[in-house]
Amino acid sequence: MQYTEKVMDHFKNPRNVGEIKDASGVGEVGNPVCGDMMTFYVKIEDNIVKDVKFKTFGCGAAIAVSSIVTEMAIGKTIDEALKITKAMVAQELDGLPPNKMHCSNLGADALHKAIEDYLNKQKKG
């Protein structure tokens, strides 16, 4: 299976690349098999994901996944963003080759981790 046009678009022109200096939460994930790494930064205000940025050191699919996940998460409530699954990510990209499905996993995981980091900080006060 080839990459879809949407994957190629997000790979060539990734949205929301970078870092949020005063991020509400940061999530880092890696895949020990391929060695790819992904860091997500979230800005949360009044229970809404206001901004998401990412830094990904990985394959083309991982970059496209990171980019689309930022677009999917921005504007959502925390609960909605936590419900974003790898299947939704792959669907949003009009599909990923089967051997690249783990890349979509990383994107959802990194987002969830960044939000959980924020929630943990809130608990600690």
**Binding region for ligand FES (CB under 6 A):** 31, 34, 36, 58-59, 61-62, 100, 102-103, 106
Identity of the residue, 3 or 118, whose beta carbon is nearer to ligand FES in the bound complex: 3
The answer to whether 59 is a known catalytic residue is no
Q: Which distant-in-sequence residues (6+ apart) come within 8 Å of 81 by Cβ?
A: 49, 73, 111, 112, 115
Handedness of CA 106, 122, 23, 69 (dihedral sign): positive
- Out of 26, 34, 37, 48, pick the active-site residue: 34
- Out of 103, 111, 114, 115, pick the active-site residue: 103
Longest dimension (CA), the chain: 48
Least spacing, CB of residue 46 vs ligand FES, in Å: 33
| Side chain identity, residue 34 | C
Report d(CA 93, CA 79) in Å as an integer: 22
The answer to whether 103 is a known catalytic residue is yes
Report d(CA 99, CA 40) in Å as an integer: 23
Least spacing, CB of residue 42 vs ligand FES, in Å: 20
Identity of the residue, 57 or 119, whose beta carbon is nearer to ligand FES in the bound complex: 57
Least spacing, CB of residue 23 vs ligand FES, in Å: 22
Identity of the residue, 44 or 103, whose beta carbon is nearer to ligand FES in the bound complex: 103
Structure tokens at 46: 């009044």
Catalytic annotation, residues: 34, 103
